[in-house]
Amino acid sequence: MIGFDELLQGLGNGDRRCIARAITIVENESNGYEDILPTLSVNKKIPITGITGPPGAGKSTLINALLKNLSAKKNANGDPFQIAVLAVDPSSPFTHGSLLGDRLRMYEHFNNPNIYIRSLATRGALGGLSAKTLEVIDVMRSAPFNHIIIETVGVGQSEVEIVALADTTIVVLVPEAGDEIQAIKSGIMEIADIFVVNKSDREGADRFAANVIKTLHERPFKNNWNVPVLKTIASGNEGVDALVEMIYKHLEQVPPEKNLQLLAERAYRLIQQEKMRGITVQDLLVELTIKINEKDFNVYSYVRNKNKKP
């Protein structure tokens, strides 16, 4: 059993066992959970790239290609880049664990010592992320990674929460989504720092990219950043170099106020989680089975009383 001090030291040194153990403790709120988080030495300079988009857009394939590119880079000391991937997957209805295996989708990087891949189950959370994504990202940022990539679950328009976590948000689309642009532009279309039209070797890719650009002209620049639309063929590693270059170009132009906004969004979500701690649907069901029979029962009064401090 790894001791607390040894766990933190190993985390800071990039020990994969310690990283995995710390994430498991945080994700499951196991013994020591409340002691780990306040003692983390979080490196806020580690860039986080969020990748989202509808199912079938090729997000995992694109991440595979990004990992090939990023793993070839060197850090300031001349050492290979250390990269972490957090793949947020649907939950199993039986175990509440991750339903899709990231190692099946990113198998070629599984044995790469410079790449760490972890699945995280949504456990019913909406917005394409897990309720524990915030804390797990801070655990990863306490390890010596050079870049962190988050892949959302791929549920479509509700995946807007990634913008509160990522320094750079990439929305991946495919040419077949051409008829859906108007339907989704009020959702994930609003959060992108970079658009990627993947599988651009398919028919209609140029026309679709032009339509995305036209849609972007209908809104102002985002933080004085002209949102680009790039075409890739992730399965053939085409256009990926240009995408990596654009990611780092965007990171250089992220204004200080966006970093403050990200921090405020993270704090807001953590406060929400703290207020909901100890409350489960099953517990509410048991209480309401009794309360519902009370003559003057009112669900709003019930909720208000639940929110009152004891």
**What does the DSSP assignment read for 269-309?**
HHHHHHHHTT--HHHHHHHHHHHTTSTT--HHHHHHHHHS-
Q: What phi and psi, each to the nearest 5 degrees, are found at residue 150?
A: -110, 125
> Average pLDDT, stretch 187-201?
85
Asked whether 147 and 16 are in contact (CB, 8 A), the reply is no
> Average pLDDT, stretch 84-97?
60
Cα angle 173-178-180, degrees, rounded to a multiple of 5: 85
Give residue-wise pLDDT tens across range 208-232.
898 888 888 776 666 678 899 999 9
- Please report which confidence band the pLDDT of residue 161 belongs to, taking 50, 70 and 90 as the band edges: low
- Please report which confidence band the pLDDT of residue 37 belongs to, taking 50, 70 and 90 as the band edges: confident
Q: Which of 41-50, 111-120, 186-195 has the lowest mean pLDDT?
A: 186-195
The fraction of the chain above a pLDDT of 90, given in percent, is 39
> d(Cα 272, Cα 266) in Å, to the nearest integer?
10
Q: Which CATH class is domain 42-257?
A: alpha beta
85 beta partners: 117, 149
Q: Is the pLDDT confidence value at 163 over 60?
A: yes
> d(Cα 164, Cα 134) in Å, to the nearest integer?
9
Q: Is the pLDDT confidence value at 103 over 50?
A: no
What confidence score (pLDDT) does residue 93 get? 36
What confidence score (pLDDT) does residue 264 get? 82
Q: Is 175 helix (H, G, I), strand (E, B) or coil?
A: helix
Q: What phi and psi, each to the nearest 5 degrees, are found at residue 125?
A: -70, 145
> d(Cα 48, Cα 150) in Å, to the nearest integer?
7
What confidence score (pLDDT) does residue 24 get? 92
Give residue-wise pLDDT tens across range 125-157.
444 455 678 889 999 999 999 999 998 866 444
Q: Which ranges of 44-195 would DSSP assign to H, the alpha helix?
A: 59-70, 102-105, 133-140, 181-184
> Average pLDDT, stretch 290-299?
89
> Average pLDDT, stretch 53-64?
87
Q: Is the pLDDT confidence value at 63 over 60?
A: yes
C-alpha dihedral over 233, 235, 241, 243, to 10 degrees? 60
Give residue-wise pLDDT tens across range 247-291.
999 999 877 677 777 778 778 877 877 787 778 788 899 999 999
What confidence score (pLDDT) does residue 127 get? 41
For the stretch 79-83, contacts whose Cβ atoms lie closer than 8 Å and that sit 24 or more positions apart, written own/partner, are 80/114, 81/114, 81/146, 81/147, 82/14, 82/114, 82/115, 82/116, 82/143, 82/144, 82/145, 82/146, 83/114, 83/115, 83/116, 83/145, 83/146, 83/147, 83/148, 83/149
The fraction of the chain above a pLDDT of 70, given in percent, is 79
Cα angle 173-261-124, degrees, rounded to a multiple of 5: 55
Write down the domain spans for the chain: 1-40, 42-257, 278-307
What confidence score (pLDDT) does residue 153 get? 67
What does the mean pLDDT of the chain come to? 81
